[in-house]
Amino acid sequence: MGPSLLLYTLRRLVQAVPLVFVIILINFALIHAAPGDPIDFLLGSSDATEEYIAQLRAEFGLDRPLPEQLLAYLGKMLSFDLGYSLRFREQVLTLILSRLPATLLLMGTALVVASLLGILLGAVAARRPYSATDNVATLAALAGYSMPVFWLGQIMLLVFALHLAMFPTQGMMSLRAPREGLGMVLDVAHHLVLPVATYSVYHLALVFRLTRVKMQETLALDFITTARAKGLPEGRVVYRHALRNAMLPVVTVIGLNFGFMLAGSVLTETVFAWPGTGRLLFDAIQARDYPLLMGLFTVLSVMVILANVLTDVIYALIDPRVVYR
Amino acid sequence: MPSSIPASSIAEAAVAPAPSAWRIFRHNRAAVAAGAILVLLAAFALLGPALAPFDPVRTGVGPSMAPPGLPHLMGTDELGRDVLSRAAGGLRISLLVGLGAAGAATLIGLLVGGVAGFFGGLIDDALMRVTEVFQVIPRFFLAILLVAFFGAGLFNIIFAIAILGWPEVARLVRAEVLTLRSRPFVDAARVAGASRTALIVGEILPNAMGPVVVNTSLLVGQAMLLEAGLSYLGLGDPGVVSLGVMLQEAQQIMRSAWWTSAFPGLLIFLAVLALNLLGDGLNDVLDPRARER
Amino acid sequence: MTKLSRRDLMAAGAATLAVPGPVLAQGTPRRGGTLILAIEGEPATLTSHLATDTPAMMVANNLFNALVLLNEKLEPVPDLATSWTVSPDGRAYAFELAQNVRWHDGRPLTAADVEFTFNEIVAKLHPRAGSWWPNVESAKATGPHSFEFRLKQPFAPFLTMLGSVLSSGALIMPKHVYENTDARTNPANQRPIGSGPFTFSRWQRGSFIELNRNATYFKPNRPYLDRLVFQVSSDPAARLLAFERGEIDFLHWYIVPYDRIGRLRTDRRFRLYQKGDAAATNGLMLINHRHDRLKDAKVRQALAHAINRETINQRGLFGEAKVAKSHVGSTIAWAFTDRFDYAFDPAKANALLDEAGFRRGADGRRFPLRLFWASGRDYEGRGAEIIRDNLRDVGVDVTVQVFDRTSFTDRVFRQWDFDLAMQLFTTGPDPTVSVTPRYHTNAIRRAPFVNGMGYSNPEVDALFDREPTITDPAQRAQAWHDIQRILMRDLPALPLFELPPIHAASARFADVVTGPQGYIENRENAYELR
Amino acid sequence: MAGAPLLSVEGLETHIATHAGTLRAVDGVDLHVMPGEAVALVGESGCGKSMTALSVMRLLRPPARTVAGRVAFEGQDLLALEEAAMRRLRGDRIAMVFQDPMTFLNPLMRVGDQIAEALAQHRGQSMAQARQAAVEALRSVRIPEPATVARNYPHQLSGGMRQRALIAMAVACRPALLVADEPTTALDVTVQAQIMRLLAGLRRDLGSALLLITHDLGLVAEYCDRVYVMYAGQIVEHAEVGALFRAPQHPYTRALLAAALPPHRRVAELAAIEGQPPSLLSPPPGCRFHPRCPARVAPCDRDAPPLFVLSPERTARCWLHARSPADAAAS
């Protein structure tokens, strides 16, 4: 199964290529559909020299027919040339890569925390549907679902950073007394708590609700009766037989929601001054740095696509029925 | 037919007269409360601007940053504008964005999903590929790009948010249409010589509406949250005051005047929570099977 | 003015540690400590030759030196230049440089670096060079540590200009790093090698910029602090929280929350600094002179009478600002006059508008106007709201529109597509470099922050052209009074408020702001109290 | 018939709470199974026979609930047992074989592991030992290459193989009673016969009793000793297999038998049972079968008939057997 899984992964990756192409196409279409000269979008309102404008025109072939321009644009994208940031005077790709680790740390932690907690709480609630515990958890999940992320973040800051003074308010590490090694890891973890808590809420609520429903459905399935008829203890029935089956749709939705999670990262990173791609996007919006905006869109889209491939692979690992085709 | 034993036994209950939709809905007390809250909020949004004693736009109708009390129930902001009057208008705009975006997303989804499901074949394949693309790309980012490129007008914002929601609707509708397409009553209509359009509009869509209505009610809330998010990033329509724009404005002074942020935030929260609860309630009534949404 | 040697004076200045000004602190300065300063956005570069954004300047001033700096009276004091002489005709400026200055990489700083900086970088790249460089005939090294400017004609504010690095971009850059490279894309823009009190340590993208103490700084005992950290913090609410929690030590005047200043003032954990005259800034309402109603002077004057600027100060800036009464900043005492200001008088405004022939219609309205502002400075938005209400009271139907800063700049200064617009303009350190470039006819260009209003008056142009060549201070002041009279009558823009130069710092630090540059000055004098 | 019954059910009532009211799925059922005996519970789908089996196994889930009755198994009252004690019996002393081998197997678990689980649970074996035993259990239900099949997932097996695997799971612990709920309904006719023969063989080898729940009278005739016929939540007739087929005493049984005959032998008026089974929410007054009964008499639509005892091993719930009021009272 090892090699076939690898092949499957590769095949899914290849199948994702057209999607990347579509992303690039959307970028290209936006440049040309937006009001104004495409060169304005590549330049913003910076005081570019005539040579630079001419150079850009040549690079993007803006004087040539549209299909040729598209080819030129594709060529640039495929050679990882995402353009030059007007605001930061730096290669867009370099900028994004320098910010990506912070975002991945925040997102990864939030994804793991939210998914694990959500699945666990969902499974517990599903065992006793409509009990007091279930009702409270369900309502809390709906509440988490219904709050603007940035507003929640600000409330978190006021409560936990200002009044209780339990957590720092900003950034990824203490700047006054930088630490090394384990100290730094703990420091970063300390800074991570509030952003992750804020960021996880929506996703946690989503996973909780889905798991709860799927668990209820699964617990009503026939093979659960079989498991009980075997005399298995209820815990084994719920967590070994039901949960694993209920997880399948949950895994899919977690994967599909990766893109939505990115949206939350923009807002969370801005509130908590987290130095990731979300903040970069915020800066790019403020400065109308179009090459950077489009570069971020491209890179983050590719991340989402990769996350979907990963989801498929994880799904295949859990579900033996998936045919590696 | 795979069925669990209890399920087949419970199926006997179907022999008994089915409880009315209203009775099931009423059974979900939270949904009823949510419905009531929504009616109140809608009344506040629609009548508020007329009833509110103050011009929501006019500065200096009260002192600067007066805390909640009389006559300013939600206090005033730094320019001495009445927060309650502004919030009423803001809620109206937010609901408009929510309903507009959800409505547009539903329409697009109905069209795409309906056509794909009914005609099948190549058309289905092509439309579903497009839908998949839109499901995978980070749509919030696309919305940001659209608003940033084309301007932060209310229409653009609604359109950008609608783009976020339609793929789910399309898939939902397609799935429903696929199952409904082969039902006897559709065959009957086909034999009776109904046109394709008549079939889709007259026979299939009405029967597929249950899950769609549920989804739309959830989309409205999502759209309101997205509008607030866009506003926070400075991409709200500055010409009209939505709750999101109010929240964004309140950033600066929320420590001096908490009420300028608390009330708009609470209103969004209440409205979206009520919409979600309502969606749950409608789900019980309209679509007991597809509860995963 | 015959000979303007200040060598003696300056030598004395250098002996008393260069920068006068009250020492606010208890106790004596001592070494050590980390100062964390908030910046509202990520800078583009850490040098000053490309950007004029606040964050970049805040950092760059700690990494580089200028020839001269300014004292509280806006007089030049030594930085790299230990002394200077001005020729009797006012056209030659000769500087002697400190001998013991080294770049952070150990190379000596010489007059060749100065020559390179002005001729190859400032003249060619600096966005604001146009306001003063055209006066320069040549800039040449005359020895390893001597340097001379020759001007085409006398230019009174020349030294003030050099000292005002925000306006002139005159921070000296290392020739050996930039020679034969594209100075716009040189990697040293991100990892600068300077001569200043602090050296570049690291730039964690999106997070912070860290500078370390320059142990071999040429000024004795300076700097005191071990580290400077510039923390990027964009969300105003979170930034204030971080400041109150002690995670950030310094909020500069553009990001101090005016609504909280009252509280901060009474809180012993914090100290407010009200300094920064060299970078004094006024809020203005630009008036488009091409508009068919606004081109009537009576209409513009009516607007001036109709707008309650004290309300803008009270509600827009929480009473922390001053009403601006002229186009010249009140901090430039020798030139400023408030004699030509307008009183808040709606009745008079109504009368003027009627006189101009724009009577109220049946609905009480006279004509519509659009008022633009750029998102980012919330007090401008609040000001716009108040102006709209004031003007509606006299029958002018104003619609407020807000844009992101880039679109705003584009509309107002490139497209000239606006009626009224909110804009900040620096008024220091000398009106020649701050006022003239925005009202002179030759400043009607499609470029940011110049005369987008299309205001043209040959009478004032003549004054603008003659005034910098006047070497007698009294006469020059008179010329500026004349200019203000005309400008306040013609109203190319209505001055609204003088932004208060208030900075907030943690009380654990002393002398965080000591000079007139305010937020952008270097922190070589700041120290931590124990 | 001598000795104590292995399983004895008395007055079993199982209700299902629904939106519309309480549904009496099992309404006072009495039955017993002797050790080693094969007993059939026959009826149309929805008559409550599966609910009876689940009630006995205590595998009901809300909203279904047993509200009255006694279930004695090997002398213990199952309904009064602690859940933990009941769990020790389930899968060990009483095992159940279900209808649809696809849906009753966990799709994400290897077949061998699903069998081994029960062994590990009841026999205290390690998982490794239990896996070995599972292979043996698969071999005992005559699955070829049992070691390979044990490593397979359910979807990789054919329907018949899956049913064998389910049976292997049930018999792995050598239960005293095997409850088989429509074990062949989902299978091809040829496979049905194989499975039934397998069950019969296993029963002989293990000495287990069998409670076979089915609507297929053919299976009953071939494999069972006694029959209970169930209609609308109640037992309507009980007899030894031969006696029942020879002379059915309830019109419903008669109708069932007729429906099971090949078409050319059907008696016209009994070819099919007219109408629908009644709602168990509000059963008709009187005899529950009367609306469909071709032989109804005067009291049928008024008074519910008792179970008339015709002989020690023979009962029928029909007014046709009311020879005197005393008979009725005797039940």
pLDDT along chain B (293 residues), means of 10: 35 43 66 88 82 77 82 83 86 91 92 85 86 80 83 86 87 82 71 72 74 85 89 81 86 82 91 88 64 33
- Residue D71, pLDDT > 90, answer no
Structural domain span for residue B229: 21-49+82-292
Report if residue B170 sits inside a domain: yes
Q: Would an 8 Å CB–CB cutoff place A318 in contact with chain D? A: yes
Consecutive H or E run containing A116: helix A92-127
Domains annotated on chain C, with CATH: 6-64+196-277+501-528 (3.40.190.10), 68-176 (3.90.76.10), 281-498 (3.10.105.10)
User: Which residues of chain D lie closer than 8 angstroms to A321, CB-CB?
Assistant: 107, 153, 155
pLDDT at A51: 65
Nearest CA in chain B to C386: B59
Q: Would an 8 Å CB–CB cutoff place A320 in contact with chain D? A: yes
Q: Would an 8 Å CB–CB cutoff place A293 in contact with chain B? A: yes
Q: Would an 8 Å CB–CB cutoff place C417 in contact with chain A? A: no
Q: B53: burial class by Cβ within 10 Å (0-12, 13-18, 19+)?
A: exposed
Q: Which of B12, B22, B27 to mutate to test the interface with D (most CBs of D within 10 A)?
A: B12
Strand order from edge to edge, sheet including D94-97: D94-97, D177-181, D209-214, D38-42, D226-231, D234-240, D314-316, D308-311
C-alpha span between D96 and D101 (Å, rounded): 12
User: Which residues of chain A lie closer than 8 angstroms to B37, CB-CB?
Assistant: none
C22 vs B123, residue with greater confidence: B123
The enclosing domain of B265 has a CATH number of: 1.10.3720.10
- Element counts in chain A: helices (H) and strands (E): 14, 2
Report if residue A42 sits inside a domain: no
pLDDT at C12: 36
pLDDT, mean of residues C115-135: 83
User: CB–CB of B59 and C386 under 8 A?
Assistant: yes
Domain boundaries, chain D: 7-93+176-275, 103-172
Note the CATH number of domain D7-93+176-275. Answer: 3.40.50.300
C-alpha span between C458 and C450 (Å, rounded): 17
Nearest Cα to Cα of residue C490 among C435, C414, C439 = C439
pLDDT at C163: 87
C-alpha span between A318 and C12 (Å, rounded): 81
User: Which band of pLDDT confidence, cut at 50, 70 and 90, is reported for residue D274?
Assistant: low
**8 Å CB contact between A230 and D117:** yes
CA distance B155 to chain C (A): 16
Consecutive H or E run containing B23: helix B21-27
pLDDT, mean of residues C258-266: 87
Q: Which residue has the tokens 């029963």?
A: D203
**8 Å CB contact between B6 and D64:** yes
User: Which residues of chain D lie closer than 8 angstroms to B284, CB-CB?
Assistant: none
User: Which band of pLDDT confidence, cut at 50, 70 and 90, is reported for residue C201?
Assistant: very high
pLDDT at B280: 80
Mean pLDDT of chain D: 79
- Residue D6, pLDDT > 60, answer yes
Chains that touch C (3 or more CB pairs under 8 A): A, B
Least confident of A13-22, A268-277, C290-299, D294-303: D294-303
Q: Could you tell me the pTM of the whole model?
A: 0.80
CA distance B151 to chain C (A): 9
Q: Which of A94, A175, A268, A280 to mutate to test the interface with C (most CBs of C within 10 A)?
A: A175
**Strands C136-143, D314-316: parallel, antiparallel or unpaired by DSSP?**
unpaired
Q: Which of B15, B20, B25, B28 to mutate to test the interface with D (most CBs of D within 10 A)?
A: B15
Alpha helices (runs of H) in C89-136, residue ranges in sequence order: 111-116, 123-125
Nearest Cα to Cα of residue B220 among B101, B65, B115, B87 = B101
pLDDT, mean of residues D262-280: 59
Most confidently modeled of C94-108, D34-48, D176-190? C94-108
Written as one letter, the residue type at B229 is G
Report if residue B281 sits inside a domain: yes
Q: Measured between CB atoms, which of A225, A263, A270 is closest to B140?
A: A263
C-alpha span between C325 and C316 (Å, rounded): 17
Please tell me the total count of domains within chain B: 1
C-alpha span between D143 and D148 (Å, rounded): 10
Nearest Cα to Cα of residue C381 among C424, C337, C426 = C424
- Cis upstream peptide for D63 (omega within 30°): yes
Reported ipTM: 0.78
Q: Measured between CB atoms, which of D20, D46, D103 is closest to B9?
A: D46
Q: Measured between CB atoms, which of A219, A225, A244 is closest to D104?
A: A225
Q: What are phi and psi of D49, to 5 degrees?
A: -70, -40
- Residue D217, pLDDT > 90, answer no
pLDDT at B79: 81
User: Which band of pLDDT confidence, cut at 50, 70 and 90, is reported for residue C488?
Assistant: very high
Report if residue B7 sits inside a domain: no
User: Which residues of chain B lie closer than 8 angstroms to C315, CB-CB?
Assistant: 59-60, 64, 78-80
User: Which residues of chain C lie closer than 8 angstroms to A41, CB-CB?
Assistant: none
User: CB–CB of B12 and D25 under 8 A?
Assistant: yes
User: Which residues of chain B lie closer than 8 angstroms to A33, CB-CB?
Assistant: 149
Report if residue B276 sits inside a domain: yes
pLDDT at C21: 39
pLDDT at A125: 86
Chains that touch D (3 or more CB pairs under 8 A): A, B
Q: Which residue has the tokens 């005559």?
A: D142
Nearest CA in chain B to D50: B5
User: Which residues of chain C lie closer than 8 angstroms to A45, CB-CB?
Assistant: 406, 409-410, 414, 448
Report if residue A60 sits inside a domain: no
Alpha helices (runs of H) in chain D, residue ranges in sequence order: 49-57, 83-89, 111-123, 127-140, 146-151, 159-171, 189-206, 217-223, 241-246, 251-260, 325-330
> Tens of pLDDT along C442-481?
888 887 788 999 999 999 999 999 998 888 889 999 999 9
Contacts of C525 (CB under 8 A, 6+ apart): C19, C29, C222, C223, C224, C511, C514
Where in C134-260 does DSSP place strands (E)?
A: 136-143, 146-151, 198-204, 208-213, 227-232, 250-251
Q: Which residue has the tokens 């459905």?
A: A217
Report if residue B65 sits inside a domain: no
Nearest CA in chain B to C315: B79
Chains C and D touch (3+ CB pairs under 8 A): no
Torsion of CA C405, C407, C409, C414, to 10 degrees: 170
The enclosing domain of A268 has a CATH number of: 1.10.3720.10
Nearest Cα to Cα of residue C501 among C480, C484, C487, C521 = C521
Chains D and A touch (3+ CB pairs under 8 A): yes
pLDDT at B198: 75
The residues with which C138 forms a beta bridge, in sequence order, are C150
> Tens of pLDDT along A91-129?
889 889 988 899 989 988 998 898 899 988 888 888 877
pLDDT at B8: 36
Report if residue A51 sits inside a domain: no
Report if residue A61 sits inside a domain: no
**8 Å CB contact between C404 and C377:** no
Residue C271, by phi and psi: left (phi above 0), alpha (psi -120 to 50) or beta? beta
CA distances from A16 to A168, B131, C348 (A): 40, 14, 70
User: CB–CB of D25 and B2 under 8 A?
Assistant: no
**8 Å CB contact between C201 and C67:** no
pLDDT at B26: 61
C-alpha span between A56 and A52 (Å, rounded): 6
- Residue C153, pLDDT > 50, answer yes
User: Which band of pLDDT confidence, cut at 50, 70 and 90, is reported for residue D267?
Assistant: low
Chains that touch A (3 or more CB pairs under 8 A): B, C, D
pLDDT at C9: 38
Q: Which of A94, A169, A288 to mutate to test the interface with C (most CBs of C within 10 A)?
A: A169
Residues of C with CB under 8 A from a CB of B: 235-237, 240-241, 257, 259-260, 263, 311, 314-316, 318, 375, 378, 381-382, 385-386, 389, 401-404
User: CB–CB of B145 and A305 under 8 A?
Assistant: no
Q: Would an 8 Å CB–CB cutoff place A188 in contact with chain B? A: no
Nearest Cα to Cα of residue D109 among D127, D90, D84 = D127
- Residue D134, pLDDT > 80, answer yes
User: CB–CB of A245 and D108 under 8 A?
Assistant: yes
Written as one letter, the residue type at B254 is M
C144 vs A217, residue with greater confidence: C144
Please tell me the total count of domains within chain A: 1
> Tens of pLDDT along C297-307?
999 999 999 99
Mean pLDDT of chain C: 87
Q: Would an 8 Å CB–CB cutoff place D230 in contact with chain A? A: no
User: CB–CB of D23 and B23 under 8 A?
Assistant: no
pLDDT at A324: 59
Contacts of A290 (CB under 8 A, 6+ apart): A31, A41, A42, A44, A86, B148, B149
User: Which band of pLDDT confidence, cut at 50, 70 and 90, is reported for residue C344?
Assistant: very high
pLDDT at D263: 55
User: Which band of pLDDT confidence, cut at 50, 70 and 90, is reported for residue D329?
Assistant: very low
pLDDT at C151: 93
Q: Give me D242's structure tokens.
A: 């031969």
User: Which band of pLDDT confidence, cut at 50, 70 and 90, is reported for residue C343?
Assistant: very high
C-alpha span between B126 and C42 (Å, rounded): 44
